[in-house]
Structure 1
Amino acid sequence: MAKVAFLGLGVMGYPMAGHLCAKGHEVSVYNRTTAKAEAWVAEHGGRFGRTPAEAAQGADFVMTCVGNDDDLRAVCAGADGAFAGMAEGAVLVDHTTVSSAVTVELAALAEAKGLGYVDAPISGGQAGAENGVLSVMCGGRPEVFEAAAPVIDAYAKICRLMGPTGAGQMTKMCNQIAIAGLVQGLSEALHFCQKAGLDGDKVVEVISQGAAGSWQMQNRYRTMLDDHFEHGFAVDWMRKDLDICLTTGDEIGASLPVTALVDQFYKDVQKLGGGRWDTSALIKRLSVMG
C-alpha cells in the first residue's frame, strides 16, 4: 500500500481516486473547486489539500487528471504546484490527455528535482473510470513505470509501458484518431438506417456480429438513436484532443485527412450548442445539418 495524492476530481478523477482508497492506499486529494474535494473526503475518507503542493506532501505517488496543457502546468509547477510538495524519489503519474511537448517539459522539470514522471493517459470513459476498467497507456523510464504500475492497477483493465517519455500521449493520439473515424462511420450507418425506415435494433443486432461490430456500436447505438448525448466524453474535450493529434501529425509528417474532417464535424456540433454533449453526438449533426 502506498501514500497517494490525486489531483483533479472530475468525472474521471473522482471515481479513480475512490478506487485507490478502496484498494487500501492512503489517499489525499486536491480539486480546483475545494467543495468537490471536501465531498470526496466525506464519502471516502482521507484528506484534502487546498493547494496541489499541500495534497502532495508525503505522497509516494501523485496522480493528476485535469483538463489541458495549461491546467497540468498549473497543478505541477510553481510555488503551490505538486512538485513543490513532493519529496525526492516520489513519482508523478499524469492521466491527462495533453501534448507530448508539455509532457517532455514537465518530465524534465521533475527529473531535475529528483522525481519520477510517467505520462499515462487513459481511455474507457466515465463508465470505465467508475468500474475501474480503464486502458492506461504509459511513457517513461521502465523502472519508474514498474514502481507506479501496481498503484495504477487500482482502476486499470490494462496498463502498458509504450516507450520513453511522451509515448503514452502518442498512443492516446492513436486512440483518439481511431475513435473519431469510427464514431462518424457509426453515425452515418445509423442515420442511413433511419432514413431507410429500418429497425435500428435489428440492424445493429445483425451487423454488430460481423466486421462492423465495435464497442461504440454496442454501447452507444441505442442512445444515439434516442437522441441522448449526456453520458460520455464531451465534444469540447474531443476537439482539444484532435487538435493535439493534428498538430503532432503535422510535426511528424503523418497524414490525417479523416481526422481533420471529423474535427470540423465536431466544430459543427459545437455550433449547435453541443459542446458538452458526448462524442456520439456526430449523428445529431447529420439529422440537423445533413
Structure 2
Amino acid sequence: MSDASISEFDRDTAVRRLSPGEYATDLSARWSFGQVLNGGYLLGAIGRALADALPHGDPFTISAHYLTATASGPAVIRTDTARTGRSLSTGSASLVQTDENGIEVERIRALATYGDLDSLTGEVRTTAKPPHMPSYEECVSTNDAPDPSLIPEFARRFAMRFDPATVGWAVGAPSGSGEMRAWFAFADGRESDPLSLLLTVDALPPTAFELGVTGWVPTVELTAHVRARPAPGPLRVALTTRNMAGGYLEEDAEVWDSTDRLVAQARQLARAPH
C-alpha cells in the first residue's frame, strides 16, 4: 500500500516498535494549533502504541495527563502492561521527546483499559439524547470563516460543519453558553473508528471561545470512553462547559454516529487563557 493511499491520521499516528513495549513515532505539524500539537491527536498516537502492546485492540477508556507541551518531530512512546484478562487488559504509556539540550522530557502519561468492542452486548438503556442541531447542509463550514488565513493547520484536517448557534465567537459575538456543536468528518474521507474517536473528542474549538475567552486552552487532563464502534458517515459532536473558575474549565464531550448511537464520551480539565 502506497503512502498516498493511507489517511493522514493513520500515517501521522503510525508507530514503529523499537523493542517490547517501546515505540518510535514522528509527530506531524499538520495537527498543530500554533506551535503546539493537539491533545486528541497525541492521544491517538499513544492509543495506537497501546493497541499493539496490549492483547486487546480497542480502547475502552484512556486517561492522559499532559505534563508539558508537545512539539512536532520524533518522539518515543513507552508502554507497560499492568494486567491482562479474558475481556479486558490495562496498561500505561509515556510519551517522551528529547529537548534542544539533549535531555529527555516526558510530555504525556496515560493509563488505559482495552477490550473488544465487537464482543459487547447490544442492549442499550440510556437517557442520553443526540444533540439537537441543524442538518449537515444547514451548518457552517470551516471554509466559511471570515478570514480563512486564521484557520489553524489542525482544523484543515477535517470537513466539519458547525451549528450556527455555537459559532458566534468566530464573528466577535460569543453566545456565552459554553457550548460547541458540529458535524465531524476527516477531510481525506477516512471513516471514523475506535482509535480516531480519541481524536474526535478533542477536535472542536474549545467551548471557552463561546464563553468569550480566546487564545490557547491547554489540556491538563483528558479522559475518553469509547462506547461502540461508529457506523459510517459524519459524526455529531457536542461539547459543554458548566464551570470556568480559578483559571480552569471542564469540558464534556459526546460523540454520536449516523445511527444515533452514543459512541464516545470524554471529560477534560483545561487551563483558560490568561
User: Considering the TM-score relative to the shorter chain, is it more than 0.5?
Assistant: no
Please tell me the TM-score bracket, short chain as reference.
Answer: under 0.3
More helix by share: 1
TM-score by length of 2: 0.25
Higher normalized contact order (CA 8 Å, seq sep 6+, divided by chain length): 2
With normalisation by structure 1, the TM-score equals 0.24
Higher-strand-fraction structure? 2
